[in-house]
Structure 1
Amino acid sequence: MFTVEKKDKNQQPNSTEVQYYVDFLYQHLEQYGDKREDIKKALDYALGIDNKPGGFILTAKDEQSKIVGIAVILNTLMSGFIPDHILVYIATDSKVRGKGIGSLLMDQLKKECSGAIALHVEESNPAQFLYEKKGFEKKYIEMRLNR
């Protein structure tokens, strides 16, 4: 049995917890992840640090209160032409994948969010099947100009 906890600007995790989240995501996102400093920026945004719009972090825990999954959702403060929320990261511990943790996190974040939710997924990421099962649709091809 797994439980889900929510952290946001009103219920801030301490700095040790945040560092644990960064390390967890860095490890378990594997080839689909980002640099630690970029993960930390997303967590700070979700927690409303430096007057960012905020969002929230969901952690899935096992019976021993060990984190086995994390989802990070950012608020965009837009609606209609841009989704209200962006699911930036979702990862489960590689040792317990396939046990419904990702599905549990997806169900909870859908309850927590009002309005549209967007996410980016690489074509080769097998998690896209979970996203489609949970109601997400392929809508756009993302293109970026990095400078």
Structure 2
Amino acid sequence: MIELKFFTETNQPSREEKSRVLDFLYHHLENFGDPKNDIEKAMDYALKVYPSFGGFVLGAYDAGQLVGAVVINQTGMKDYIPENILVYIATHNEHRGQGLGRQLMEAAIQQAEGNIALHVEPDNPARRLYEKLGFSSKYLEMRLQKK
């Protein structure tokens, strides 16, 4: 049985738990991940470690072992920009294909207040799950990386 734990500004994870979620995301995001430092910034934003709009971190546990995690950041916007952005979601590679990703997404959707945006690479297999849950491609994202 999967146990879900939500961490927020008022329900902070312990230092050890935060480190465990950070390491989990870094390892299990695989080729769709970011540097550990960026993942930690997103988690800190969600947990309001520094001034931010907040959000939440969700951990999924099977017999006490972390098997999935989600980071949602609130954008401080509404309507023209969704209120939330799903920054990271990962499942343990041994638990893939068993509905855990769907369970995490459904819990995150229920917990988030307002609409949710996410970025997904075209070749990411999770894209089909997002589409089944009602996400659609409204825009093509373009970025300018200033040096």
Q: Is 1:61 aligned with 2:61? A: yes
Q: Helix, strand or coil: the match of 1:16? A: helix
Q: For 1:1-147, what aligned pairs fall within 5 Å after superposition?
A: 1-62=1-62, 64-147=63-146
Gaps in structure 2 of 5+ consecutive residues: none
Between the aligned partners of 2:91 and 2:46, the Cα distance in structure 1 is 19
- How far the C-alpha of 1:114 sits from its partner, in A, is 2.0
For residues 66-105 of structure 1, what are the alpha-carbon distances to aligned partners after superposition, in whole Å with 9 as ceiling and x for unaligned? 1100010000111011100000000000011111111111
SS at match of 2:71: strand
The runs of 4+ residues in structure 1 deviating greater than 4 Å are none
Letter in 2 for 1:77: G
Cα offsets for 1:30-80 (capped at 9, x unmatched): 000000000000000010111111100111111x11110001000011101
Q: Distance in 2 between matches of 1:78 and 1:59?
A: 25
Query: Partners in 1 of 2:86 and 2:110 — Cα distance?
Result: 13
For residues 2 and 18 of structure 1, the distance between their equivalents in structure 2, rounded to whole angstroms, comes to 19
Instruction: Provide the secondary structure at the position in 2 that maps to 1:50.
Output: coil
Taking the aligned partners of 2:7 and 2:98, their CA distance within structure 1 comes to: 23
1:129 match: secondary structure: helix
Q: Count the aligned residue pairs.
A: 146
Letter in structure 2 aligned against 1:44: D
Amino acid at match of 2:51: N
Q: CA deviation at 1:26?
A: 0.7
Tell me the C-alpha RMSD between the 2 structures: 0.8
Following the alignment from structure 1 to structure 2, what is the Cα–Cα distance between the partners of residues 135 and 65?
A: 31
TM-score (norm 2): 0.97
In structure 1, distance between residues paired with 2:6 and 2:113:
15
Question: Aligned partners of 2:14 and 2:4: how far apart in 1?
Answer: 18
- Structure-2 separation of matches of 1:46 and 1:114: 13
